[in-house]
Amino acid sequence: MRRAVNIVPGSGTRILLALLPFLLIACLYVVASAERRAANPGDKLLPPITEMATSMDRLATEPDRRSGDLTLWSDTAASLQRLFIGLGAAAAIGLVLGLTLGLLPLASAGLSPLVAVVSMIPPMAILPVLFIVFGLGELSKVVLIVIGIAPFLVRDLAMTVTAIPSEQIVKAQTLGASTWQLMLRVALPQAMPRLIEALRLSLGPAFLFLISAEAIAAESGLGYRIFLVRRYLAMDVILPYVAWITLIAYLLDWLLARLARRAFPWAYVQETRR
Amino acid sequence: MRFGNGRFGFRALSAALGLSLALLAGGTQAEPKKEFNIAWTIYVGWMPWPYAADAGIVKKWADKYGITINVKQINDYVESINQYTAGGFDGVTATNMDGLTIPAAGGVDTTILIIGDFSNGNDGIVSKTAKTPADLKGESINLVELSVSHYLLARALEAAGLSEKDVTIVNTSDADMVAAFKSPETSTVVTWNPLLAEVRAEPGSAALFDSTQIPGEIIDTLMVNTEVLKDNPAFGKALAGIWYETMAVLSDPGEKGKAARAAMGAMSGTDLAGFEAQLAATKLFATPEEAVAFTESEDLIKTMDLVRTFSFDHGLLGDDASDKDAVGIAFPGGQVLGSTDNVKLRFDVSYMRLAAEGSL
């Protein structure tokens, strides 16, 4: 008997099925937008797609009246710079602390409870303190991202390293490995693919903290623009910006996934067999 | 909150888009109705609204006209105006500039029903380094961009012979303004009360410029949807009745007034002394006669011309606005500034005048 669980779509059907929900949402949007425009020709809440395209074209190709920059690209560059520095710093902290805590019982005993407690502090709640300590400039925005995701990376990597079978650790020592060699040759290679996976999972929160920081004080950036034009309900700018942020996050996620599989194929052996 | 007129397509869509239902409830409400919602946010000139609701003044006047008026607080000022613009509220407390740039520029025909006061020191520029507006050249300035603070700065720079190109503006949310000013790298902020009082209290800070130097330009009002008002004059009459009865209590020099001011102070997170200090920086129109005279004066037209010029220069009238005339502003006596075909902001003295005549 043919059961629903056994119906597997072919590649063409798969693409069609994947596109369908997007098309449906687009159609609903167009209808609602037209309906609101019919009621109020000046409506700003659900602008037609043509209007969003015009606005984006203007922001991407015409220099800003005041600064002379191409708004979309300067916003994107400012935000990506903050995001990459923040992610990079958080990854470095996560890797170093994660390996140390996971491998050295002495370090773990001393630091793990602190990390566990710090990871529970909601970063947004201590924002005013961050401002006073780190100022309102670039540093505080990067620090917010780092504080937001580094504790998660540290804990995740520490758990990964702790979960390395003790047989491996014992065997490496039998072969004469020092603690330093254990860390670099046994723990690090196994932690790396996990770090990339954890970074992928952190992309969402990292963007959240980036946008929040830019909403609070900034001169440029994707979040800055959204919160600035929000003052006059310019949804023709906000909606495309949201789509753009989503696209960037999706691409970063995809790139990290590719990187992990290219650099550490052995960690994904199970996956290819499926 | 009211959820549309049962237009199912809208509702399904709003869920799909993750937009709030209240935002989508907009459009036109032509039919006479019995229940009205107005939104308010914390500001000295708007505290009479929640006080009137608590003291039963709102219910008294609403009952007189056989309607219900809900007075609701919104935490975020811009959000309250956006909610009104999207059709979630029938009226909102807002400044003249925000009324022009948000609902009116967004195509929502809006009537300024009550002119409550104008800022007379409630908005100001405070700096740790500069002593006069001319010293601001090259400074980095924290403020809520595109707000009345931004307008105030533009006016101060203009008076000092500078332009916005001479300074760097850092958009900073009002909630974080006080913490921002405490940061060592922040030198100058533009903000409004009660935040202004907080930053002025910082050691080493000096006030450079405030709204007393541009009197009558930052106006605090109650604005309502023109269509709703046209179909429901009782709504406008009740609002005017509520407002001036509350004004009488507020400006009472005796114990009754003191108790009311203390209550309004407590509702806005300060005390009697703090609230009275803010009142001192506010030119309140205690009687409808004063408000009518202010609204009918030629100065208001000059002010709105400055405001619309600033708004157009900063792109606040929308991308399709080719010049500052794009949105028409109507004044008492039939005068119109800008496009007569697209009048979206109206100063209406008729309800304030009814209050003055005592015929509400």
**In this predicted structure, which of A51-60, A79-88, A126-135, B305-314 has the lowest mean pLDDT?**
A126-135
- For residue A111, the tally of other CB atoms under 10 A from its CB is 17
Side chain identity, residue B62: A
Using alpha carbons, list the distances in angstroms from residue A168 to A106, A171, A173, A188, B178: 20, 5, 9, 13, 55
Using alpha carbons, list the distances in angstroms from residue A261 to A95, A272, B37, B291, B314: 19, 10, 57, 71, 49
Phi/psi at B154 (nearest 5 deg)? -60, -40
pLDDT of residue A66: 67
Question: Is residue A232 within 8 angstroms of chain B, CB to CB?
Answer: yes
ipTM > 0.95, yes or no: no
The reply to whether residue A43 touches residue B344, judged by beta carbons under 8 angstroms, is no
Supply B49's token pair.
Answer: 């609204």
pLDDT of residue B31: 57
Supply B242's token pair.
Answer: 């509520």
Taking residues B322-327, report their average pLDDT: 91
Residue B148: which residues within 8 A CB-CB, separation 6 or more? B95, B97, B98, B119, B123, B192, B218
- Select from B318, B311, B276, B294 the least CA-distant residue to B47: B276
- Select from A188, A204, A195, A192 the least CA-distant residue to A253: A204
CB burial readout A144-154, b (16+ within 10 A) else e:
bbbbbbbbbbb
B78 band by pLDDT with thresholds 50, 70 and 90: confident
The reply to whether residue B171 touches residue A131, judged by beta carbons under 8 angstroms, is no
Contact B170/A220 with Cβ under 8 angstroms? no
Chain B residues in contact with A132 by the CB 8 A cut-off are 179, 182-183
- Select from B38, B42, B45, B40 the least CA-distant residue to B218: B45
Identify the residue whose tokens are 């794009």. Answer: B326
**In this predicted structure, which of A170-179, A263-272, B189-198, B202-211 has the lowest mean pLDDT?**
A263-272
pLDDT at B29 over 70: no
- For residue B322, the tally of other CB atoms under 10 A from its CB is 9
Taking residues B107-124, report their average pLDDT: 95
Distance CA B44, CA B54 (A): 16
Select from B10, B11, B13, B344 the residue whose CB has the most chain A CBs within 10 Å, as the one to mutate to test that interface. Answer: B13
pLDDT of residue A272: 61
pLDDT at A73 over 50: yes
Comparing A135 with B308, the larger pLDDT belongs to B308
| pTM of the predicted model as reported, rounded to 2 decimal places | 0.81
Which among A40, A219, A227 has CB closest to B170?
A219
Identify the residue whose tokens are 């937009």. Answer: B19
- For residue A246, the tally of other CB atoms under 10 A from its CB is 11
Which among B107, B168, B183 has CB closest to A131?
B183
Question: Is residue A26 within 8 angstroms of chain B, CB to CB?
Answer: no
pLDDT at B13 over 60: no
pLDDT at B160 over 60: yes
Instruction: Give the three-state DSSP class for B15.
Output: helix
The reply to whether residue A45 touches residue B173, judged by beta carbons under 8 angstroms, is no
CB burial readout A38-70, b (16+ within 10 A) else e:
eebebbbbbbbeebbeebbebbeeeeeeeeeeb
pLDDT at B185 over 90: no
Q: What is the pLDDT of residues B212-226, one digit of tens each?
A: 999 999 999 999 999
Residue B304: which residues within 8 A CB-CB, separation 6 or more? B96, B100, B329, B331, B337
Residue B236: which residues within 8 A CB-CB, separation 6 or more? B113, B224, B229, B351
The reply to whether residue B86 touches residue A132, judged by beta carbons under 8 angstroms, is no
Q: What is the pLDDT of residues B279-309, one digit of tens each?
A: 999 999 999 999 999 999 999 999 999 999 9
A134 band by pLDDT with thresholds 50, 70 and 90: confident
